[in-house]
Structure 1
Amino acid sequence: MGNLASRELQLIRSQFAFPLRERTVTNNAASTQPPLAVFELLRDLSETYENVHRGQSDASIRTTEMFEASFDTIAAWINAPSRRTLSMHRSTTEAINAAMYSLMADFRDGDNVVTTLMEHNSNYVPWHALCREILPRFGRRVECRLARFDHETGELDLEHLASLVDARTKLVCCTGGSNFLGTKPPLDSVRAIADAGGYAQPDGRRGALLLVDAAQRFASSRVDVQAMDADFAAFSFHKLLAPFGVGVLYAKETLRESLPPFLYGGDMIAEGRVFPDRVEYNELPWKHSAGTPNILGVIASAQTLRLIVDMVGADAERAWFRTDDPLSSAAVDTAMGIVAEHAASLTQQALEELSAIDGLNVYGVPRGRERTPLVAFNVDGHSPFDIARALNAQGVESRAGCHCATLAHHDLGIDPPASCRVSFTLYNTPEDVDRVVDAVRQAVDAPERFAVAPTLEGASQAVDEIAGRVELRSSSTLLR
């Protein structure tokens, strides 16, 4: 299928505000731009603005219906068995922390967690903290082990991963798609390795649990949690055209039933079932939904998924946006197939054209192989922060920093631990790629054109950048 036709792309882009500002948005691995229709939906929801599960008014009843239906839409999108497997959080990061805190009491002295050197910090630091800071306070020794990746190809070293998993490996954590190397690990092989360890779980099953950080995979391909057989999967909607503030944790229903909540109070309590000697929890999925949730964000996120189906013409028979009808699996497959092929085509174009620039080094998966739709690179003799600033001066929005993939940057010996990254999604065009490549060439060939006059503030910032403590995001124009 490759790139969407020019006319189709123009129709898609007409539904966003950023082209009006002549912005070239290629920082999509961090966050994507929401369609105008989603902002209009949020405005219209103000007419019946009310809390959920906390009122008998027509407004509360209607808002509750839309909120609960959103869980069904999200479950259908990732092929989860039902809404009972889902909990909503503020981000992928919080979702992974929710899994960590729910599992914390189940770890036994001598257990271990296995993750990888290619992880986003959010799928390493919580497990590092669990093993090095939290559990030691309770007198429990739990080890965090890190699997290697191939420095040339970015591929996960499955043999090394398997060597780290043993009968005391309670949990294996793995990215579904690297936001730096572009790697999409073979999750079926990771699942088999996790099972082979033979850990005796509290419910009697044998094998390690598998947690997948699906943030980048969710943004660029169809995620099927049953096919990947993940025990946990976390992702965020702002990676796929929705507004900020909603992340999801999928967990198998048996885990939802047996594990304690991450947070306590409010909606996770069964109505009227609080006593001096006991508290009874709500039914799933609300058992894992403490307090007042991000109601409008959840509704808008679910409706954004439906809008994507409509935007790409995945179902010619009907429109899905602003409905609560059961979402067709075939429509989801088609929609994400279009998104994936279009983004992959742009990524391969970028890899080919950027690789022709002298001194430019691309990290991770080589050209011609499947990868997440991003390219992270450095240019010999040039700071990635200077490159990002120069791109921004030419209207191209990229990102410089470690991209929260700090372990991988250190493992590759990148000093300071930073690279420049461009990334693509549904609304990007081949012309966007051309602009990126031309802007990089200009930044490399004539860096003096984009130099910033030194100031005390700038000098202080430069010191932080060299130390690898600051990630500079290119500026963006706020909607007015």
Structure 2
Amino acid sequence: MTVTLVPAPLTLSAPPAPHRPDPLAVLGVPGEINLDHAASAPCARAAADAVAELLPWYASVHRGAGALSRRCTLAYERARQTVADFLGARPGDHVIFTRNTTDAVNLLARALPAGTTVVTFAGEHHANLLPWPRGSVRLPVPASPAEAVRALDAALRELRRVGPRSGGGASELPVLVAVTGASNMTGERWPVAELARAARRHDARILVDAAQLAPHAPVDLAALDVDYLALSGHKLYAPFGVGVLVGRGDWLDAAPPYLAGGGATSHVGAATHDVRWATGPARHEAGTPNLLGAVALAAVCAALGEADRDALHAREQALLTRLRNGLAALPHVVELRIFGPDAPRVGIVSFVVAGRDSAEVAAQLASTHRIGVRDGLFCAHPLARRLLVEAAARSGRRDLPPTALRASLGLGTTAAEVDALVSALAQPG
């Protein structure tokens, strides 16, 4: 008996693809529920990995000829370009790395041309209230986004009519409108594009504080037609001490350096004041820059740029609705708001527990339930006090505390964590 062996056909199967961790996964401590993203968001995997990869090469930026320094300089300038692309910067815009949003706004305040009038709303974070020069105009907190646009339009028209003149009929001196993209207290989104159009009608420039907006929604300077934008890395999942000011270069190049020192100069002579300052971002980035912060921020920007932002938005809005509905079902909890209950908002909710001190509630949530929230007036004291008074009037309660609680959501937040907060608040104090 003869047996003929027929070889089996050769099949080649590709090796399993290596597991790639989600760059937008966030680091955390098991068992701890972090609902305080609006103060400082947790670190994204993309930021941590970018820093870990660069650390062995860490060296000077713009200062050395060695391989390490050259690599770090390239990483720093690539980070600048990545951030510029993420934020829709235009040709001629400067991307200046700062410490945080507050630092970025202060930088622009120092760079304002002489005679500039700044127009803000009373609903701003202190970072967008306190840096501006005397003579600034602070508009009342509006009751709706449409009212904000009307109020700004009217204020700018009046400024142009009666403001100081530089030689013509109507006032020609610079005007800057400074507004938030999303409230750090309530998460409500401000009508940035409409406010920008109002500014354009009256030849004013506009700065957007995007600290709370950028982590939750795409922000594009060119599409919104805004002149300047400020944000913080620590709120955008890159907690390495970096912020950014992006915007038109003419005012920034004409202003004295924000900090005087190495890197901000193109020439220093023997005489005391024989100095020529650099133009471009370097003019306001004196000293050794925060390389790791810039690289971390750029890594998160790149990861968000490749993500499905619509899906992220839908997921966050579902969690936000779950949280707001849960709080609304608790008779002793009152939500704070600027606009109507259905106004667009990001994942931030401020509220009070009737009859209970907010600091004590926050402490109990942490000690008993391992839930972290924020309590206080959230560096927006004028707005917070107003909203607390309005909440008392709206609810008819006289036992609301003088400060509030804030729960803020983001990447990594789960429905179970939202439910845990609502359940904890439902328990007797």
- Relative to the length of structure 2, the TM-score reads 0.82
Paired AA for residue 149 in structure 1: P
Q: What displacement does 1:84 show? A: 5.1
Contact 1:145–1:164 under 8 Å retained in 2: no
Give the whole-Å Cα distance in 2 for the aligned partners of 1:420 and 1:96. 26
Q: What displacement does 1:367 show? A: 4.6
Which residue does 1:348 correspond to in 2?
A: 321
In structure 2, the residue corresponding to 1:338 is in which secondary structure? Answer: helix
Change (3 A) 1:177 1:385: same
Question: Which whole-Å deviations, capped at 9, do the CAs of 1:174-197 have from their partners, x for residues lacking one?
Answer: 111101122211112212322333
Residue among 236, 255, 275 paired with 1:279: 275
Residue among 148, 155, 161 paired with 1:164: 155
> How many residue pairs align between the two structures?
382
- Asked if residue 92 in structure 1 is aligned to residue 83 in structure 2, the reply is no
Which residue does 1:380 correspond to in 2?
A: 354
Give the whole-Å Cα distance in 2 for the aligned partners of 1:125 and 1:404. 11
Which residue does 2:256 correspond to in 1?
A: 260
Equivalent residues in 2 for 1:448-463, closer than 5 Å: none
Which residue does 2:9 correspond to in 1?
A: none
Q: Identify unmatched segments of 5+ residues in structure 2.
A: 1-20, 164-173, 390-399
Equivalent residues in 2 for 1:190-339, closer than 5 Å: 190-197=195-202, 207-270=203-266, 272=267, 274=269, 276=271, 278-308=274-304, 331=306, 334-339=307-312
Paired AA for residue 405 in structure 2: C
Give the whole-Å Cα distance in 1 for the aligned partners of 2:146 and 2:324. 17
Paired AA for residue 171 in structure 1: L
Give the whole-Å Cα distance in 2 for the aligned partners of 1:242 and 1:355. 33
Paired AA for residue 157 in structure 1: A
Paired AA for residue 354 in structure 2: D
Which residue does 2:138 correspond to in 1?
A: 145
- Deviates further, 159-168 or 219-228: 159-168
- Deviates further, 223-232 or 275-284: 275-284
Q: Identify unmatched segments of 5+ residues in structure 1.
A: 1-10, 132-141, 198-206, 310-330, 448-480
Paired AA for residue 149 in structure 2: L
Q: What displacement does 1:292 show? A: 0.9
Give the whole-Å Cα distance in 2 for the aligned partners of 1:348 and 1:69. 38
Question: Which whole-Å deviations, capped at 9, do the CAs of 1:360-398 have from their partners, x for residues lacking one?
Answer: 111115554410211101122122212212221211111
Equivalent residues in 2 for 1:45-84, closer than 5 Å: 45-81=54-90
In structure 1, the residue corresponding to 2:106 is in which secondary structure? Answer: helix
Q: What displacement does 1:25 show? A: 1.1
Question: Which whole-Å deviations, capped at 9, do the CAs of 1:217-249 have from their partners, x for residues lacking one?
Answer: 111100001112222110011112111410100
In structure 2, the residue corresponding to 1:218 is in which secondary structure? Answer: coil
Contact 2:178–2:207 under 8 Å retained in 1: yes
Give the whole-Å Cα distance in 1 for the aligned partners of 2:347 and 2:25. 22
Give the whole-Å Cα distance in 2 for the aligned partners of 1:155 and 1:404. 25
Change (3 A) 1:400 1:154: farther
Paired AA for residue 408 in structure 1: L
Contact 2:108–2:252 under 8 Å retained in 1: no
- Deviates further, 413-422 or 167-176: 413-422
Equivalent residues in 2 for 1:172-191, closer than 5 Å: 172-191=177-196
Residue among 387, 390, 399 paired with 2:374: 399
Contact 1:179–1:372 under 8 Å retained in 2: no
In structure 2, the residue corresponding to 1:47 is in which secondary structure? Answer: helix
Residue among 422, 434, 439 paired with 2:424: 439
In structure 1, the residue corresponding to 2:109 is in which secondary structure? Answer: helix
Residue among 411, 419, 423 paired with 1:426: 411
Contact 1:73–1:302 under 8 Å retained in 2: yes
Contact 1:215–1:235 under 8 Å retained in 2: yes
Which residue does 1:371 correspond to in 2?
A: 345
Question: Which whole-Å deviations, capped at 9, do the CAs of 1:189-214 have from their partners, x for residues lacking one?
Answer: 212322333xxxxxxxxx22211111
Give the whole-Å Cα distance in 2 for the aligned partners of 1:180 and 1:254. 33
Q: What displacement does 1:91 show? A: 0.6
Give the whole-Å Cα distance in 2 for the aligned partners of 1:12 and 1:27. 22
Paired AA for residue 112 in structure 1: T
Give the whole-Å Cα distance in 2 for the aligned partners of 1:335 and 1:260. 41
Give the whole-Å Cα distance in 2 for the aligned partners of 1:238 and 1:45. 19
Q: What displacement does 1:425 show? A: 0.6
- Asked if residue 411 in structure 1 is aligned to residue 386 in structure 2, the reply is yes
Contact 1:352–1:367 under 8 Å retained in 2: no
Give the whole-Å Cα distance in 1 for the aligned partners of 2:274 and 2:295. 33
Give the whole-Å Cα distance in 2 for the aligned partners of 1:14 and 1:419. 30
Give the whole-Å Cα distance in 1 for the aligned partners of 2:329 and 2:77. 51
Change (3 A) 1:14 1:228: closer
Change (3 A) 1:68 1:120: same
Contact 1:148–1:161 under 8 Å retained in 2: no
Over the aligned positions, Cα root-mean-square deviation in angstroms equals 2.4
Contact 1:391–1:397 under 8 Å retained in 2: yes
Give the whole-Å Cα distance in 2 for the aligned partners of 1:438 and 1:235. 34
Give the whole-Å Cα distance in 2 for the aligned partners of 1:114 and 1:283. 28
Which of the pair is proportionally richer in helix? Answer: 1
Which residue does 1:324 correspond to in 2?
A: none
Give the whole-Å Cα distance in 2 for the aligned partners of 1:156 and 1:439. 37
In structure 1, the residue corresponding to 2:244 is in which secondary structure? Answer: strand
- Relative to the length of structure 1, the TM-score reads 0.74
- Deviates further, 36-45 or 242-251: 36-45
Question: Which whole-Å deviations, capped at 9, do the CAs of 1:58-101 have from their partners, x for residues lacking one?
Answer: 11001101111000110011011258511011110000000001
Contact 2:57–2:72 under 8 Å retained in 1: yes
Give the whole-Å Cα distance in 2 for the aligned partners of 1:143 and 1:258. 21
Q: What displacement does 1:335 show? A: 3.6
